[in-house]
Amino acid sequence: MRTVNKVIIIGNITRDPMIKTTEWNKKIALFTIATNRYYKTADWENKSESEFHNCVAWWALAERVEKYLVKWKLVYAEWRLKTRIIEKEDWDKLHKTEVVVGNIIFLNKRGDFEDNSSSSDGSDFDAIDAEINDDRF
């Protein structure tokens, strides 16, 4: 039987991405996207609830994230959920679920993304699409 593991998020970056490099010299970008859920209570009072999604991007996509994403930018991100099990020193296990991002689209205007290393015409900016098939993470 087939299964589905697909995540789609539209939200704001909560902090500047953290960039790491593996021992194989491949980049990893770690960042968080915030989303909001709006609803009414039984008394018809408007409420909102924020959710924070830990995200990870690899290789070329991590380089794009490093180059363009900063706190508060609006993004569309998709791909899949991945849960890692981290064994702590006291033999406890910590489960950490993250969105492994394989496609990201920057939703702010081109001028909102500053990049000192590229040309000013924005030709390097269009929607960024990358598929990364790595099951190590």
Which domains are assigned to the chain?
Answer: 1-33+48-97 (2.40.50.140)
Amino acid at the residue 101: V
User: End-to-end distance of the chain based on CA atoms, in angstroms?
Assistant: 24
Give pTM, 2 decimals: 0.76
The tens digit of pLDDT for each residue in 84-98 reads 998 888 888 989 999
Could you give the CA distance from residue 84 to residue 93 in angstroms, rounded to a whole number? 10
133 to 28, 58, 102, 107, 109: CA distances (angstroms): 14, 9, 8, 24, 29
The tens digit of pLDDT for each residue in 6-43 reads 999 999 999 999 999 999 999 999 999 999 999 999 99
